[in-house]
RNA sequence: GGAGAGGUAGCCUAAUUGGUAAGGCAGUAGUCUUGAAAACUACCGCGGGUGACCGCUUGCAGGUUCGAGUCCUGUCCUCUCCGCCA
């Protein structure tokens, strides 16, 4: 959520920023009048409240003094206040709701150093690590490799659940589990994150807080239960909302959480994209990194979080590149995002395996997550960051494809050996 | 699922037949001190205002009332017991 005071004072630059994000700047056409109306109605309602409070206090004093007749007269004189107050409160609620509706639909503003552009073609590569391996045989993709090794069964997954689901078997399931444990261990032991295991179902307030609602309802799996529950599309939702509606001590920042969870996405609107294999599923495993930090430290923390995610690929020996997303390619809540893309030999290209975003105070304002500096003063909004560390299913793909051997078996990367004792490669059984 | 008890600011605890949230701890600043502690003074839920001040706040949402922590209805959460269950 954008700061209404900021929007009021920077209306034109906000308009420009929205256009850069492919959002219609016309959403702001009614901001000024709506804002003025809201403040006018609010102060008027305050005035009537004041009047009413004073009258009630006087009546109370008269009653205690035993002057019941004067109290009764006073009561009669304030009889009309109640209706006026009800009217004004109704107006105020409507004005507040209208402003909230307007603001809650606006995306975050891009940071100043985000490249301007309409879509992913304007993303800028900022670094590259590792060298794609040269194969002296014809490479297969993870679907062929996995199916032939009987570690991946997409056909039966389609029967049991539907399309965009997968079943991992044997050493394939083992590899997935090894990756999860490996990632959690690196982030908790080396990178200083606190492991947390959140609910996989969240309420609507949490989804509003991180920005999935109100605009992206169709991306979610929502339960028919009357409580408005949804399956989490990412652990970012339950973990970032952990301190919703709280005022934190500045000394407790930064907070660094790592969570492994399954994620559920309806992928409505992505028909025809990435339909083959494990790339885009309705259910996938992810290890997520989340930070809450001081505003002045979020850029530094963002760089560090991205490096923490990259570290996993380095340890696994998987070539990757890191790009900064353009204004047109960023997600709703982000002010700056780095995508980490891993090399996939079958596609001869780099594919997204992690997205690391600095959300500034955008989510914190929606969630009401604030902190107080030592020495007192007004509470301020924290900055929130999140990033995949990493998407486990896509890491599985990258390992299988990059470590494939001429006979169709998969070598296990050194870093994973402790997690798959006794298994040096996955071969046909 | 059934029965009961509860929810007051970061924590703990009050509030006459309804009369407008008292106090303690922790915390921050200051006085004193070589320094610290202790003691003392001030601040110490949220928002707005340069300010005197104003509005909001007893889990949440309604209702009754001039006035609700208190009375009524609904709802969420926690705890205890029973049932069920991994």
If DSSP codes are grouped into helix, strand and coil, which group holds residue A395? helix
Å from A377 (CA) to B44 (C1')? Answer: 11
> Which of A362, A128, A348, A140 lies closest to A240, judged by CA?
A362
**Cα dihedral across residues A325, A327, A331, A334: positive or negative:** positive
- pLDDT 10s per residue in chain A (429 long)? 898 888 888 888 899 999 999 998 888 888 888 888 888 888 888 888 888 888 888 888 788 777 888 888 888 777 777 777 778 888 888 888 888 888 888 999 999 999 999 999 999 999 999 999 999 999 999 999 999 999 999 999 999 999 999 999 999 999 999 999 999 999 999 999 999 999 999 999 899 999 998 889 999 999 887 778 899 999 999 999 998 888 888 888 899 999 999 999 998 878 778 889 999 999 999 999 999 999 999 999 999 999 999 999 999 999 999 999 999 999 999 999 999 999 999 999 999 999 999 999 999 999 988 888 876 677 889 999 999 999 999 999 999 999 999 999 999 999 999 999 999 999 997
DSSP assignment letter at A55? H
Strand partners, A202: A230
Q: Which protein residues have Cβ within 7 A of any strand B atom? A: A 46-47, 49-50, 52-57, 59-60, 63-64, 75, 78-79, 82, 227, 247, 370, 372, 374-376, 378-379
> Which of A422, A407, A418 lies closest to A145, judged by CA?
A407
Q: How many CB atoms lie within 10 A of CB A221?
A: 15
> Which of A54, A9, A1, A66 lies closest to A32, judged by CA?
A9
ipTM of the complex model: 0.81
Q: How many CB atoms lie within 10 A of CB A391?
A: 26
Q: How far apart are CA A28 and CA A350, in angstroms?
A: 38
> Does A280 qualify as catalytic in the annotation?
yes
Given the residues A355, A366, A370, A401, the one annotated as active site: A355
Beta strands (DSSP E) in A92-197 are: 124-129, 194-195
If 0-12 CB within 10 Å is exposed, 13-18 middle and 19+ buried, where does residue A104 land? middle
- Please tell me the pTM assigned to this model: 0.93
Strand B, nucleotides covered by protein (CB < 7 Å): 10, 19-20, 27-29, 43, 45-48, 54-56, 66-67, 76
Given the residues A15, A265, A335, A365, the one annotated as active site: A265
């Amino acid at each position: 959520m954008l700061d209404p005071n900021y929007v009021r004072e920077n209306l034109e630059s906000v308009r420009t920023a929205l256009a850069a994000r492919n959002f219609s700047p016309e959403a702001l056409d009614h901001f000024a009048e709506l804002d003025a109306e809201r403040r006018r109605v609010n102060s008027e309602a305050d005035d009537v409240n004041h009047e009413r409070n004073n009258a009630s206090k006087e009546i109370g004093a008269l009653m205690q003094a035993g002057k019941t007749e004067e109290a009764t007269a006073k009561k009669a004189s304030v009889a009309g206040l109640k209706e006026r107050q009800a009217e004004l409160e109704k107006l105020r609620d409507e004005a507040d709701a209208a402003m909230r509706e307007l603001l809650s639909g606006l995306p975050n503003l891009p940071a100043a150093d985000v490249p301007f552009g309409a879509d992913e073609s304007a993303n800028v590569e900022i670094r590259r690590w590792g060298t794609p391996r040269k194969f002296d045989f014809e490479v297969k993709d993870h679907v062929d490799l996995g199916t032939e090794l009987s570690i991946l069964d997409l056909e039966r997954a389609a029967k049991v659940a539907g399309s965009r689901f997968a079943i991992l078997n044997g050493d394939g399931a083992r590899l997935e589990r090894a990756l999860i444990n490996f990632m959690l261990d690196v982030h908790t032991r080396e990178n200083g994150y606190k492991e947390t295991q959140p609910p996989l179902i969240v309420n609507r307030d949490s989804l509003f807080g991180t920005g999935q609602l109100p605009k992206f309802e169709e991306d979610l799996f929502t339960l028919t239960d009357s409580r408005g529950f949804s399956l989490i599309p990412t652990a970012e939702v339950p973990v970032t909302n952990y301190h919703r509606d709280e005022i934190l001590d500045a000394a407790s920042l930064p907070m660094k959480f790592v969570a492994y969870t399954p994620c559920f996405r309806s992928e409505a609107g992505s028909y025809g994209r990435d339909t083959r294999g494990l790339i885009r599923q309705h259910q996938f495993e992810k290890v997520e990194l989340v930070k809450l930090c001081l505003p002045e430290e979020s850029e530094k923390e963002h760089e560090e979080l991205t490096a923490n995610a990259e570290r996993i690929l380095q340890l696994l020996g998987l070539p990757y590149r890191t790009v900064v997303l353009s204004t047109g390619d960023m997600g709703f809540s982000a002010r700056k995002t780095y995508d980490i893309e891993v090399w996939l030999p079958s596609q001869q290209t780099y594919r997204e395996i992690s997205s690391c975003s600095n959300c500034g105070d955008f989510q914190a304002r929606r969630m009401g997550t604030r902190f107080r500096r030592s020495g007192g003063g007004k509470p301020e909004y924290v900055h929130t960051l999140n990033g995949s560390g990493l998407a486990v299913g896509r890491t599985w793909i990258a390992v299988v494809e990059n470590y494939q051997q001429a006979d169709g078996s998969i070598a296990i990367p050194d870093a994973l050996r402790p997690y798959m004792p006794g298994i040096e490669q996955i071969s046909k059984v």
